[in-house]
Amino acid sequence: MKPLNQDDLYHNLREFLKDKGIDLQQGSYARGIQKSCSLLTDAINLGQQSFGRAKTEIDKKLDQMRQVIHEKTAPTSSTPPPATDSTKSAPPPKSATAKPRARKKKTRK
């Protein structure tokens, strides 16, 4: 949401009141309303900025929490890490060298 201009709120209020039959003339009453609208506009703009910063921080913390959950729930490998020395080679797994077995046939009675 884009920030409000300083006089937008006052002009919108003035137009609203004019449509209802109330015309704000220049004077102390109108200046008080204009200052109040200015303070309200500042509060709204600061609130929007704070909300944006809070959202950014929450997103960062949420990403960190997701990373921790991912690390804690990731499957662990049951095999040790491969050797870093290039002269040592690990033997191939037994399942890769074993011959496939024939299936047993079911007998009917």
What does the domain layout of the chain look like in residue ranges? 8-75
Structure tokens at 79: 């095999």
Rg (CA), the chain: 36
Please write the tens of the pLDDT for every residue from 36-74. Answer: 999 999 999 999 999 999 999 999 999 999 999 999 998
Q: Which amino acid is at 35?
A: K
Please write the tens of the pLDDT for every residue from 11-34. Answer: 999 999 999 999 888 889 999 999
Would you call 75 helix, strand, or coil by DSSP? coil
As a whole number, the mean pLDDT across the chain is 83
DSSP letter for 78, please.
S
Q: What is the pTM of this model?
A: 0.55
Name residue, tokens 């309200």: 40
Residue 22, CB-side half-sphere exposure with 13 Å CA sphere: 8
